[in-house]
Amino acid sequence: MSLASDTLAKPASLASLMAKARAQFPAIVNAEPFIFFDNAAGAQLPQNVLDEVNRHLVGHNVQRGGRYAKSVEVDRVVAEARVKVAALLNASNPHEVCFGMNATSFIRLVSLAIGQTLKPERSEIIITDLDHDADVATWLALKPMGATFKWWKMRDDGKLHVEDLIPLLSEQTRLVACTVVSHALGSLVDVTAVGKAAHAVGAEVFLDCVHFGPHAPIDVQAWDCDYLVCSGYKIFSPHMGFMWGKFEKLVALPTFREEFIPDEPPFKIEAGTFIYENVAGMSAVVDYLEDLGAGLPGGDKATTLRARLVHGLNGIRAYEQTLSEKTLTALNAVGATIYGVGDPARSIERVPTICFNLGDMDPKDVVEKAAAADIGIRDGHMYAPRLMARLGLSMDRGAVRTSLVHYNTYDEVERFAEFLRKLA
Ligand SMILES: Cc1ncc(COP(=O)(O)O)c(C=O)c1O
């Protein structure tokens, strides 16, 4: 995947542009001086998203599919959200976008469907020891349905290398399931190369894009994956999730059906009622990111929604690289053990989600002291038991994770550095 951030502006002017973006997040601004560095667990919402959720609830909080105006409006809002989220993903067809509760339930839905279609001669599923357990346990659950497993293992540098995947692939491989970026270590995966290698042996690719969503442009066509899942609530929407699949793959998936639900995507994937106001909120996230792109230098040359989204997210990516550099520098200065890419000069290989430990201090104590200093970070196993084992960390202690997004500032990183210095 080409993730070289474009040179939209120098870091200093990018920082002032991102400060304008920050001003749109009341939960962040109103909480100052509290520093929110726990974005990997769910991000905050810009004002236009809050307004849209409110507009939906006050104006048309009714069931879809009715003939009266309020119900027709819900149908319109959901259809519009599909078009906008399709632009965010670079999907060629909005009907490839399915809405629901969260990423885990979508991964389970796809895994159960794939489990039903396993053939003995093509029953291998490749999973990784870097992934969130939502993208591991859901696949391992297919063992009774005849699935066998191969592990694509992270190297000691905290990264998945496609060279290590290639020897695992064969005509027996049914699917490769992996993340786009680690929610724990922040390391990026070359998912375009994963797609090429897996398709060369006739296997499918399922991408967990949950952690990548807020950090850079998603491109399902360039990545040539088959299925991809996101949690909107990590990308500045209220709690909801969405899934994308190649249209013909979704058509072929055997899913649970009720007679009255059309047996076609996206409806066959969307069992039951989902939270329409939160889908409306996700739709407004796309507006927010589009405006951000339009407002960056060169944004006037982006003439389509997709181009403005890519421009905005490239701006976010460029700015976040400087946040990674500064945070890594602060952690190195106090001798922290950084898991994964720790060299600030290699920030291009990661997003600003950083796992570390400080000597033999209990991660829980570090996080409690941070809380007392008005800094919200997280400790624990990061829902990744195999990763903890690989890092030699116990499930009950784990590590400390700090996770930043574009509304975080250099001043906040400096206050975090100050906190670390006092602790060391
Ligand atoms: C990488 C990754 N995958 C999957 C999940 C599960 O997502 P959800 O809470 O939407 O089920 C998370 C949640 O933190 C995650 O970070």
Residue 252 in tokens: 């072929």
- Whether the Cβ atoms of residue 288 and residue 46 lie closer than 8 Å to each other: yes
Q: What pLDDT is stored for residue 13 in this prediction?
A: 87
Q: Which two tokens stand for residue 156?
A: 């000691």
Q: Which of 228, 179, 245, 192 is nearest to 40 (CA)?
A: 179
134 C-alpha vs ligand 1 centroid, how far in Å? Answer: 7
CA of 69 to the centre of ligand 1 (A): 36
Percent of residues, the chain, with pLDDT higher than 90: 95
In the chain, list all ranges with CATH 3.90.1150.10. Answer: 11-44+305-423
Atom of ligand 1 nearest to the CA of 104: 11
Question: Which residues 6+ apart lie within 8 Å of 44 measured at CB?
Answer: 25, 27, 28, 36, 236, 407
Phi, psi of 186 (to 5 degrees): 80, 5
Question: In the chain, which segments carry CATH 3.40.640.10?
Answer: 51-285
Nearest to 15 by CA among 417, 418, 404: 404
At 179-236, the pLDDT tens digits run 999 999 999 999 999 999 999 999 999 999 999 999 999 999 999 999 999 999 999 9
| Mean pLDDT value across the chain | 96
Do strands 35-36 and 378-380 pair parallel, antiparallel, or not at all (unpaired)?
A: unpaired
Amino acid identity of residue 225, one-letter, is: C
Whose CA is closest to atom 7 on ligand 1? 103
Q: Give residue 3's pLDDT band: very low, low, confident or very high (50, 70, 90).
A: very low
Q: What's the pLDDT score for residue 159?
A: 98
CA of 231 to the centre of ligand 1 (A): 7
- Residues whose CB is less than 8 angstroms from the CB of residue 139 and which lie 6 or more positions away in sequence, other chains included: 111, 125, 127, 147, 149, 175, 177
Q: Where is 357: in which H helix or E strand? A: strand 353-357
Distance, CA of 244 to CA of 265 (rounded, Å)? 10
67-71, 256-260, 321-325 — which is least confidently predicted?
A: 256-260
In this prediction, residue 370 carries a pLDDT of 98
Of ligand 1's listed atoms, the one at least distance from the Cα of 131 is 1
With bands split at pLDDT 50, 70 and 90, how would you rate the model's confidence at 2?
very low
pLDDT band at 397 (very low <50, low <70, confident <90, very high): very high
User: Distance, CA 132 to ligand 1 centroid (Å)?
Assistant: 7
* Surface-to-core class of residue 80, CB atoms within 10 Å of its CB (0-12 exposed, 13-18 middle, 19+ buried): middle
Q: Quick one: tokens of 211?
A: 């952690």
**Which atom of ligand 1 sits closest to the CA of residue 231?**
10
**Ligand 1 nearest-atom number relative to CA 41:** 14
> What is the C-alpha to C-alpha distance for residues 290 and 101, in angstroms, rounded to an integer?
24
In angstroms, rounded to a whole number, what is the distance separating the alpha carbons of residues 424 and 422?
Answer: 6
CA of 13 to the centre of ligand 1 (A): 33
Ligand 1: lining residues by beta carbon, under 6 Å: 102-104, 132, 134-135, 179, 183, 208, 210-211, 231, 241
Give the pLDDT score at 8. Answer: 59
Distance CA 29, CA 179 (A): 31
Look up residue 266 and give its two tokens.
Answer: 């996206």
DSSP letter (8 states) at residue 233? G
| Residues 51-285, CATH architecture | 3-Layer(aba) Sandwich (3.40)
Q: Ligand 1 centre from 304 Cα, in Å?
A: 30
* Average pLDDT of the residues in 131-137: 98
Closest ligand 1 atom number to CA of residue 101: 10
Which stretches of 141-275 are DSSP H helices? 162-165, 191-200, 220-223, 247-252
Q: Tell me how far the alpha carbon of residue 65 lies from the centroid of ligand 1, in angstroms.
A: 31
- pLDDT, position 424: 82
- Take atom 4 of ligand 1 and give the residue whose Cα is closest: 134
- To test the pocket of ligand 1, the residue of 38, 110, 209, 211 to mutate (highest count of ligand atoms within 8 Å of its CB) is 211
Amino acid symbol at 52: E
Alpha-carbon distance of 310 to 96, in angstroms, equals 20
* Closest ligand 1 atom, residue 241 Cα: 10
Token pair belonging to 334:
């106090």
- Determine the distance separating the centroid of ligand 1 and the alpha carbon of 202, expressed in angstroms: 27
- pLDDT, position 256: 87
3-state secondary structure at position 284: helix
Mean pLDDT confidence for 105-116: 97
Q: Taking CA 22 as the corner, what is the angle to CA 20 and CA 23, rounded to the nearest 5 degrees?
A: 65
Taking only the tens place, the pLDDT of each residue in 89-100 is 999 999 999 999
Distance 120 CA to ligand 1 centre (A): 30
Phi, psi dihedral angles at 90 (to 5 degrees): 60, 40
Superfamily designation of domain 11-44+305-423: Aspartate Aminotransferase, domain 1 (3.90.1150.10)
Q: Using 50, 70 and 90 to split pLDDT, how confident is the model at 9?
A: low
Peptide bond into 352 cis (omega under 30): no
Structural contact between residues 277 and 61, judged by C-beta atoms closer than 8 angstroms: yes
